[in-house]
Amino acid sequence: MNAQVSINESVLELTSDGPRLKGMRCKNCGNHVFPYQGGCPKCTGSDVEPVLLGTHGTLWAWTIQGFPPKAPPYLGETDPDKFKPYGVGYVELPGEVKVEARLTESDPTRLKIGMAMDLTLVPLCKDDDGNDMVTFAFSPSTKGDA
Ligand SMILES: [Zn+2]
């Protein structure tokens, strides 16, 4: 089995316990931001720390991406004939932040606002060594409500 490589290590860390998103927590007001940034947009404080965000949340809003996105540079399938639509949504991590992410589910009849979601990985392409380059996504939870 080939190794998995994070497509962007500044936002996605592959830990032994599974994928984690790298966010920021403000020590002044408790605000969470994803991805990490060096200052708090809420209180403008700079006393912030990097945190690994939760992996379980609820679907807050979603849509279906029906064509290959143009920007930022997209590493998945760009041939419109081979492209498969996928869900995109905001998942609210309780007590933390809403994260915009790809969804593993692309059937609109199976997506519902407020449903429980889990963080997972999806392969985008291979690197030069044959490793899977992966990005993060949320899938309908198998663990029940958030
Ligand atoms: Zn703050």
pLDDT in tens, 66-121: 888 765 556 677 777 888 888 999 999 999 999 999 999 999 999 999 999 999 99
CB 47, CB 28: distance < 8 Å: yes
pLDDT-derived band at 44 (thresholds 50, 70, 90) equals: very high
CA of 92 to the centre of ligand 1 (A): 19
Per the domain annotation, does 146 fall within a domain? no
Per the domain annotation, does 145 fall within a domain? no
Say whether the peptide bond before residue 72 is cis (omega within 30 degrees of 0). Answer: yes
The residue range of the domain holding 90 is: 4-140
Per the domain annotation, does 88 fall within a domain? yes
CA of 33 to the centre of ligand 1 (A): 10
Question: β-strand 18-26 against 32-33: which pairing, if any?
Answer: antiparallel
d(C-alpha 108, C-alpha 64), whole Å: 7
CA of 30 to the centre of ligand 1 (A): 6
Q: Is the pLDDT of residue 144 over 70?
A: no
Per the domain annotation, does 55 fall within a domain? yes
Domain count, the chain: 1
Please give the DSSP secondary-structure letter assigned to residue 86: E
Per the domain annotation, does 132 fall within a domain? yes
**Cα 84 to the center of its chain, rounded Å:** 18
Per the domain annotation, does 94 fall within a domain? yes
CB 88, CB 62: distance < 8 Å: yes
Per the domain annotation, does 75 fall within a domain? yes
Query: What mean pLDDT comes out for the span 112-133?
Result: 94
Token pair of 87 as six digits: 């869900």
CA of 114 to the centre of ligand 1 (A): 27
pLDDT recorded at residue 81: 81
pLDDT recorded at residue 73: 58
- Cα–Cα distances (Å) from 75 to 8, 96, 144, in that order, read 12, 29, 32
pLDDT recorded at residue 66: 86
